[in-house]
Amino acid sequence: MASIKNIFSPRTNENGEFYRTLTRIMGFSPKNIALYEEAFTHRSMNEKNGNGEAKNYERMEFLGDTLLSTVIAAHLYKKVPGGDEGYLTKMRSKVVSREHLNELGRDLNLIKLVRTSIPTKQFGENIHGNVFEALIGAIFLDRGYRYCNRFIHKRVIKPYVDIQKLEGKVISYKSLFIEWCQKNKKRFKFNIYEDNGNDALKHFAVRLLLEDETVAKARATSKKKAEERASKRAYYKLQRRIDNEMVNSSQSV
């Protein structure tokens, strides 16, 4: 906890580490440092504001999520004038996927700024994306939409939003596998069962069947993750076949 305390101790001081780190990450200096303190406060701190309301990053996370989607949507609308609603929605989903937001948060090492009463190693992966969205919310409240838009362009759009690469990016291997099966009238089934082994956490195992034959197996801490992992393995195992049949079916429409 000492390192966290050192970051936040001179919180309103422009020479403080927290202030300097934020300025480096955002590309501009914060005005109301208290907003950013809240954006990096975990609910485990049990802090409340003057009105007795919870003071943590969760409300700002909601705000940041909405702002991020808006800025990305506006960018795609201008960048791809021929894209219809379905195409633009799908492309935006790829940019603001939970996996991608977690990656952005990790790249910026935002977790080192989080104030918490429990060890950060106990958090799940989503903490990285959650605080990234909360930071966007804090920027909007502190500096307005123009600075918020500027930050998203710098940290998300410029380094990561490549239209051609996004078009080929798979969001969900499970959805892709199911779509392929349905279009080609293939029978499939996810057989799920508990498989804890020697792990302290509950694990689930899944066997993915295609036409009554097992094409992939996987295990994870949730059923959803296990199914996605098995679908990804099945996709790579059958990639050439799936890609060819998906292309042929789209051309025949």
Largest CA distance in the chain: 65
pLDDT at 235: 85
DSSP-assigned letter for residue 206: E
For residues 62-69, average pLDDT: 96
Phi, psi of 187 (to 5 degrees): -80, 135
pLDDT at 253: 46
pLDDT at 12: 47
pLDDT-wise least confident of 25-39, 126-140, 234-248: 234-248
Distances (CA, A) of 191 to 58, 187, 212, 234: 36, 13, 11, 14
Residue 32 has pLDDT above 60, yes or no: yes
pLDDT at 157: 94
Within 13 A of 161's CA, how many CA atoms are on the CB side?
24
If phi over 0 gives left and psi between -120 and 50 gives alpha, with beta otherwise, what is residue 185?
A: left
Q: What is the CATH number of domain 2-167?
A: 1.10.1520.10
Residue 41 has pLDDT above 70, yes or no: yes
For residues 1-6, average pLDDT: 41
Confidence of residue 18 (pLDDT cuts 50, 70, 90): very high
- State which fold the 173-252 domain adopts: Double Stranded RNA Binding Domain (3.30.160)
Mean pLDDT, the chain, whole residue set: 86
pLDDT at 202: 80
Distances (CA, A) of 106 to 3, 21, 127, 145, 147: 18, 15, 9, 24, 22
pLDDT at 248: 61
Burial of 70 (0-12, 13-18, 19+ CB in 10 A): middle
pLDDT higher at 139 or 7: 139
Which residue is it, tokens 């939970």? Answer: 98
- Counting residues of the chain whose pLDDT is more than 70, the rounded percentage is 87
CB 132 within 8 A of CB 126: no
- Counting residues of the chain whose pLDDT is more than 90, the rounded percentage is 49
pLDDT at 98: 86
pLDDT at 156: 94
CATH topology agreement for domains 2-167 and 173-252: no
Active site residues: 65, 133
Give the H/E segment covering residue 219: strand 213-220
**Model confidence pLDDT, tens digit, residues 114-148:** 999 998 888 888 999 999 999 999 999 999 999 99
Domain spans of the chain, in order of start: 2-167, 173-252
Give the distance, in angstroms, between the CA of residue 39 and the centroid of all CA atoms in the same chain. Answer: 17
pTM: 0.66
Contacts of 32 (CB under 8 A, 6+ apart): 141, 142
CB 42 within 8 A of CB 56: yes
**Model confidence pLDDT, tens digit, residues 162-204:** 887 777 777 678 887 888 888 889 999 999 988 766 666 788 8
pLDDT-wise least confident of 47-51, 65-69, 229-233: 47-51
230/234 Cα distance (integer angstroms):
6
pLDDT at 87: 84
Residue 243 has pLDDT above 90, yes or no: no
